[in-house]
A and B are shown apart, each in its own frame.
Chain A
Amino acid sequence: MREKLLEVKNLQRHFKTGKNSVVKAVDGVTFDIYKGETFGLVGESGCGKSTTGRTIIRLYDATGGQVKFDGENVHGKKTRSELKAFNRKMQMIFQDPSSSLNPRMTVLDIIAEGLDNHGLVKNAVERQERVEELLEIVGLNKEHASRFPHEFSGGQRQRIGIARALAVEPEFIIADEPISALDVSIQAQVVNLMKKLQKELGLTYLFIAHDLSMVKYLSDRIGVMYFGNIVELADSDELYKNPIHPYTKSLLSAIPLPDPVYEQSRKRIAYDPSIHNTDEESEFREIKEGHWVKCTPTEYAKYKAEHNSS
């Protein structure tokens, strides 16, 4: 049995948008992430995938539900030192590398901020050495340490963001659309880097993105989010080969592939949420081993018959 690193149970995050209106950005999300794996979270904008990521790392308080990291409740009451210890284990890489780096700080200070806060280095020499080592890990030069973020290209800036996240030696990294703002050729560089780091440092990733082909490439398991809920969760190959939920099917049929002949024959399936019978309660159920779909009891019977016979 693989070891669970992160357990998310019925997580909710609601935002008050007015006197009587509440936006339920995340409404009852449940999933586990195992040690050493990459869990992909996909969905269209506004489906709550970023909010989920930010709630897990405590950037937002949870409205309801629970997040357990290594068996410890993330949103529970913590003393300053407990919080500090927790923050070291979990780090985040943000989408836009130009706005997530302080333009007035040198790269040295940006990366060393975590080292300073956690007292991981004793003196300035050690600090410098550690930062240079981190820069090398992410494929930049030592000389870059004294420069400012604006002197770098988008891909290099994202590498700085990664180096900053790695500085405190975390076990778990949440990457919120880390490559969406980059060019195709640079995307591949960053993705390769993330894969390499995972192998060398044994990291666990939560990878949030809307680019399905990259998510497929990087992730072991994928959760598909729709309107604040996960509607389907499976191994990434399984999800691509046998999508069950109509929304997943629609999402998969919409990906354009760089293959003109295929593109001419590709047909898109539109998703119509009204096909679900709302009288029955929709629940997350396991259709096959490791393949979960949110469905009503009738749908469950139907899916099960379809997918276990074939």
Chain B
Amino acid sequence: MEKLLEVKDLKVSFNTFNGEVQAVRGVTFDVLKGETLAIVGESGSGKSVATKSIMKLLPFPQAVIKNGEILFENEDLLKKNEKEMRRVRGKDISMIFQDPMTSLNPTMKIGNQIMEGIIEHQGVSKSEAMKKAIELLELVGIPNAKERVHQYPHQFSGGMRQRVVIAIALGCNPKLLIADEPTTALDVTIQAQILELMKTIQKKTDSSCIFITHDLGVVANVADRVAVMYAGKIVEIGLTEEIFYNAKHPYTWGLLGSMPTLDAQEEELTTIPGTPPDLRNPPKGDAFAPRNAYALKIDAEMEPPMFKVSDTHYAATWLLHENAPKVDPPPAVQERMKGFALSGAPEIAKEGEQS
């Protein structure tokens, strides 16, 4: 399949009073046409910074892109100036933010907020843009779209507001949609609706999507491929099935182990001890080593390269080196990798009559 976006060895730092924070330390990934790539990781792992640099939405001049290339349809976005970027933002690439409360303008009618991008990029008249806005609202499942375009954000519920944000993002049929924790602020039932909506729309428009989240359940639901980030690096990347059923990196094991299974007569959840490293002076060697029960001596010396597990699956851990001792994931994690659902998923979800 064709590559839509290629990010190569991206490094981003922030200059703060306390010194330089190396938020992203060499990230390489690509996004194919029509696929969904999920990026998971703890807060502070650099997942938002990496994707915001694709849109160049970082707070310059504090943020410095130190190195790397971001090729979107073979054009380097990092070489574009602000004026050229404005033509990309909202048109070819658009973004859905986490909190629909703060990403909408409270003093503007939502119709006008949707029209803004359409008028800017497509040069259509106001009345045409309004028509398009109503269509978009209908597409994202807002009833009475004709009346509701004239309402303000506070007149919408959280889930409805997130639908409006999605409508804005879809305004110009973007080729790439970046969704930064779009459902974290929402309830499970609303979350399920929004995820379904995003999937249907993506199928309809054949766009690609980068989905940032820390909820592994959501990842399993939406993603074709998954990248796991830790301390500003991708530590494991692969097809969704490969990550969930055959994870190789101890950090990924930790993430899986900390999710409770549903039959849960377990005494304790597996946890990842400690906290992420300070990225002002990232540790020498493997950044995850201090929290890793399986750390080898070499982890303190040298950073592990990406080892190949399969054509689509790579992991950065010395455990995959040919000379490394063979280590199996902890039993609780093995159990989960056989499939969470086996451990007593609610029967009800299998016999649901509505999709």
Contact = CB atoms under 8 A, between A and B. Distances in A.
B347 A260 contact: no
A269 B352 contact: yes
B42 A185 contact: yes
Interface in A241-291: 241, 243, 249-263, 265-271
Contacts of A255: 188, 217, 346, 349
A256 B211 CA distance: 15
Contacts of A217: 260, 264, 266, 269
A269 B348 contact: yes
Contacts of B190: 44
A267 B214 contact: no
Interface string A144-184: 00000000011110000000000000000000000000011
A267 B350 contact: yes
Contacts of A191: 260, 269
A8 B264 CA distance: 28
Contacts of A267: 349-355
A154 B214 CA distance: 15
Nearest to B291: A185
A256 B355 contact: no
Interface string B230-263: 0000000000110011000000001111111010
Given A185-B254, A266-B350, A261 B187 contact: no
Binding site secondary structure of chain A:
helix
B346 A256 contact: no
A237 B304 CA distance: 43
B43 interface: yes
Q: How large is the interface on B (under 10, 10 to 19, 20 to 34, 35 or more residues)?
A: 35 or more
Given A267-B349, A268-B352, A184 B341 contact: no
Interface stretch (B13-21, B108-116, B270-278, B305-313): B270-278
Interface stretch (A67-75, A89-97, A122-130, A207-215): A207-215
A187 B259 CA distance: 9
Given A192-B269, A256-B217, A260-B220, A213 B260 contact: yes
A257 B241 contact: no
Contacts of A156: 275
Given A216-B264, A251-B188, A155 B348 contact: no
A260 B221 CA distance: 6
B301 interface: no
B272 A185 contact: yes
A245 to B, nearest CB: 11
Contact of A268 (B158, B187, B336, B354): B354
B158 A45 contact: yes
B189 interface: yes
A185 B255 CA distance: 6
A189 B271 contact: yes
Contacts of A44: 187-190
Interface string B32-67: 000000000011000000000000000000000000
A205 B258 CA distance: 21
Contact of A269 (B221, B341, B353): B353
B135 interface: no
A105 interface: no
B198 interface: no
Contacts of B255: 184-185
Contacts of A252: 346, 348-349
A216 B259 CA distance: 12
A78 interface: no
A301 interface: no
A185 B41 CA distance: 10
A247 to B, nearest CB: 9
A262 B191 contact: no
Contact of B345 (A153, A192, A250, A257): A257
7 contacts: A185-B258, A213-B262, A254-B189, A257-B341, A259-B345, A262-B345, A268-B355
10 nearest A-B pairs in the assembled complex, by CB-CB distance: A256-B217, A267-B352, A262-B341, A188-B258, A217-B260, A258-B216, A259-B340, A44-B187, A254-B192, A188-B269
